Every structure is written in C-alpha cells, then in structure tokens.
C-alpha cells in the first residue's frame, strides 16, 4: 500500500470516528456525584469517647516522656519545649480543620 492510499484510509477512519463522536452526547456525571465525593473526602469527627481517649493518651505520653527526660537529667526548659512544640502544632492543625 502506498503512502497516499494509506493516508486516504486513515482520513476516512478519522472522519468516521469524528462523525460517531459528534452524534453521541458527551458522558455526564449525575448531579449528586460531587456531593457524594465531598462527603467521602471530608474528615469525620471523632466520637466524644474516642476524643477523650486520645486526650488521655496524649496526657499519659507527655507525662511519661517528661519523666523519662527528667530522669536522664534533661533541663526543664528543653523538656517544656519538647512537649510544647507538638502541642502547638496539634492546636494549629485543629483550628485549621474546624
């Protein structure tokens, strides 16, 4: 098959494809689709009991960490900074999410 013959066949196929695509309506998502996606992506709020358990875990971990650092002879300012920085980041993220 020579180059011009190939070209004509490809052009005919392209024209057929364009006609077929032009005759069908474009696919569309249902109107409720965006809402469903956003509902799935939004973070769910923790139940009050789960939130309380996380608070107790944080307090126990902070006390244990402070106790271990104090027993190793770490200065009180360093202990306070080591506990305050993650707490500050958590508060900033909490305000940003709500």
Is the predicted pLDDT of residue 8 greater than 60, yes or no?
Answer: no
pTM over 0.75: no
Measured CA to CA, the distance from residue 27 to residue 45 in angstroms comes to 35
Q: What burial letters (b/e) apply to 49-71, b meaning 16+ CB within 10 Å?
A: eeeeeeeeeeeeebeeebeebee
Q: Quick one: pLDDT at residue 6?
A: 52
Q: pLDDT of 20-72, one tens digit each?
A: 888 888 888 888 998 889 888 887 788 889 989 988 998 899 999 999 999 99
Number of domains in the chain: 1
User: Which domain, by its residues, includes 48?
Assistant: 3-97
User: Residue 64 has what pLDDT?
Assistant: 95
């Amino acid at each position: 098959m020579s180059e011009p013959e190939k070209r004509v066949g490809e052009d005919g196929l392209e024209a057929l494809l364009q006609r077929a695509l032009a005759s069908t309506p474009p696919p569309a998502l249902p109107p409720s689709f965006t809402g469903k996606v956003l509902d799935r992506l939004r973070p769910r709020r923790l139940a009050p009991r789960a939130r309380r358990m996380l608070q107790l875990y944080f307090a126990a971990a902070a006390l244990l960490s402070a106790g271990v650092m104090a027993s190793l002879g770490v200065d009180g300012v360093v202990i306070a900074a080591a506990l305050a920085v993650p707490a500050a980041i958590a508060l900033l993220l909490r305000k940003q999410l709500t």
